[in-house]
Amino acid sequence: MQGISACIFDLDGVIVDTAVYHFKAWKRLANELGFNFTEAQNEQLKGVSRVRSLELILEWGGIKKSAAEQQELATRKNEWYVDMVHHMTPEEILPGAKELLESLRAAGIKTALGSASKNARVILEKVDILPLFDVVIDGNMVSASKPDPEVFLKGAEALGVSPDKCIVFEDAIAGVEAGKAGGMKVVGIGEKSVLNEADLVVSGLQDINIQTLTNLYNSK
């Protein structure tokens, strides 16, 4: 395929949208601590680690907790979140995602997941597309958060592919920056005004096909 060897996908906002579950879990935690947590605030947590998300929420609530207490709160929130994602179904796959993954594999292009989520494998199993990925790199396997390119570079390495032969799919600014920092072409999923560092921006994977990716890869 004219140079493209692999495609590496972020999970949340690209393949599925679990933001609603994160929001519900964080909101429940904030409410139990005695303050509210809004959808606008939740947007600011996009692509942010669980630990840092908790720090921001506590700051917004004007609450101080020890490191041990923060760990307990983060664990509690994650247990609620995991319980919700365990009830996900294949109907929650975002439009075009499964079709694109299937067409990439049919074309001999390798696929990897590169996500900060520590629950990525469970989610892929629940929505029944785990077999469509050659490699899954998740939050249990990396130490640096995006915009550090570690998760994508590990994906390329696990696939046995040079980074410059990979295309990354991302919906967050930090993720786009990570892909670019790793020397990869990046397709942004979302708004062009937000993801303006991406090489191509589309509203969703339903707008992508093999020819689109070939053209992107061959463009300067």
Catalytic residue IDs: 10, 12
Q: What is the 3-state secondary structure (H, E, C) of the chain?
A: CCCCCEEEECCECCCECCHHHHHHHHHHHHHHCCCCCCHHHHHCCCCCCHHHHHHHHHHHHCCCCCHHHHHHHHHHHHHHHHHHHCCCCHHHECCCHHHHHHHHHHCCCEEEEECCCCCHHHHHHHCCCHHHCCEEECCCCCCCCCCCCHHHHHHHHHHCCCHHHEEEEECCHHHHHHHHHCCCEEEEECCCCCCCCCCEEECCHHHCCHHHHHHHHHCC
